[in-house]
Each structure stands twice: as C-alpha cells, then as structure tokens.
Amino acid sequence: MLTTLLLLRHGETALTAHQRLSGSGGDDPPLSGTGRRQADAAAESLAARFGVQAVVSSPLRRCRETAGAAARRLGPEVRVDAGLREADFGAWEGLTFAEVRERYPREFAAWQADPAAVPGGTGESFASVTHRVERARDKLLAEHAGRTVLLVSHVAPLRTLVRLALGAPPRTLFRMDLAAASVSEVTYDGAGEATLRFLNDTSHLSHL
C-alpha cells in the first residue's frame, strides 16, 4: 500500500521573481499575476494526472492561494498545517543570496555548513525546520495511509521532505532546484520507506 505525497511549491510572488528570501518572519506576499497563472496551470496538470484525495497547505498566503487554485480543480477542501510553513530567515528576509553573502559572509557560510546555525540572527535553523517537517509528514502518513495527498509549501520544507526521503545529508538542501509552481513526488510504502519518483517538474508551465 503506497501513500503518495505530491509536493507543489507555491506560485511566483514579487519576491520570488527577484530570488529574494521570503520566509515566515517577513512579509506575507500574495501571488503575482504570473503566480496565479502558474497555480492554475499546476492545478490543471494535477487534475489530469492524479486522483488527489487531500490538499494540505502552509498557512502563508502564497501557498493558500496556490492550494485554493488546486482545490477548485481537484475537489478536496484545503487543510492548513503550520508545520509546512517556510523557514524564518531573520534579518535576511527580503535579501537575495548574493546580498546575504556580501553582508554576512561568516554567518552565511555557517548556515550552509551547519544545520543548527540560525540565519539572520533570529531566524529558524534547518534543524528546527527538519523537526517540524518530520512531524507534519508523519502525521500526514498516519492520517492518509494509501492515499494521494497534495502538499503546497515552500522551498525549505519541500527540499527537506525530499532530502529525508533520500536519506541525504543536510547540505543537499542547497543542491536542489525547486522552481515556483514545480511539482515533485515522493511515495511511502507500508513500512515508511520512501521513493522519490520525480523532482521539480515544470512541464505544465511551458505554455505560460
């Protein structure tokens, strides 16, 4: 009996378009016009390819809007799980990676090397993100055994789910590309063993 988690990153926002860090500690931007079109395209593709039986979203607005577009096509109501929220990047919120690297070189290097490092002085470490994402995942697998569930979330939580599925080290987080409105798939067997089926599928966005 396989349980399938479809991992959908939210559509583009004004910050996403400029590759700026946008976590749970800064602004809560809505989808841009492009982001709304991406969410609709992802929803149409998911409806054609999968029989989704539950939709679960991060509480942040960009995810709830993306999940809403999916739910309108797929049927299930959106359930919000705070464990799927984006990391808090502290004082780095709104900055690009290049700006963080230039302004906080030591802290940035430590953040990339150590999952316990706290970004931006007051943010959330990847160790903390991993802990809450694991709890959210385990709860979903228990509640939806044998079903297909759409998770709408952000880069850090979704990369964490993929990393855990692969049994890969924390530094792997920086070696995955998850584009806005991309879809990935992880399945779990009855013993909880995970298989990554595909990663960062954006084929549904090619016509936009």
- The count of other CB atoms within 10 Å of the CB of residue 200 is 15
Q: Within 13 Å of residue 74, how many CA atoms lie on the same side as its CB? A: 31
- In our burial notation (b when 16+ CB lie closer than 10 A, e otherwise), range 38-52 reads bbbbbbebbeeeeeb
- Tell me the helices (H) and strands (E) count for the chain, helix number first: 7, 6
10 carries an active-site annotation: yes
86 carries an active-site annotation: yes
Quick one: how far is CA 68 from the chain centroid? 16
Q: Within 13 Å of residue 148, how many CA atoms lie on the same side as its CB? A: 13
Query: How many whole angstroms separate alpha carbon 208 and alpha carbon 204?
Result: 9
> How would you write 103-161 as a 3-class SS string?
HCHHHHHHHHHCCCCCCCCCCCCHHHHHHHHHHHHHHHHHHCCCCEEEEEECHHHHHHH
- Which residue of the set 10, 107, 124, 185 is catalytic? 10
Residue type, 17: A
In the block, tokens 């809560």 appear at 28
- Which residue of the set 12, 65, 86, 93 is catalytic? 86
Q: Which residues are catalytic?
A: 10, 86
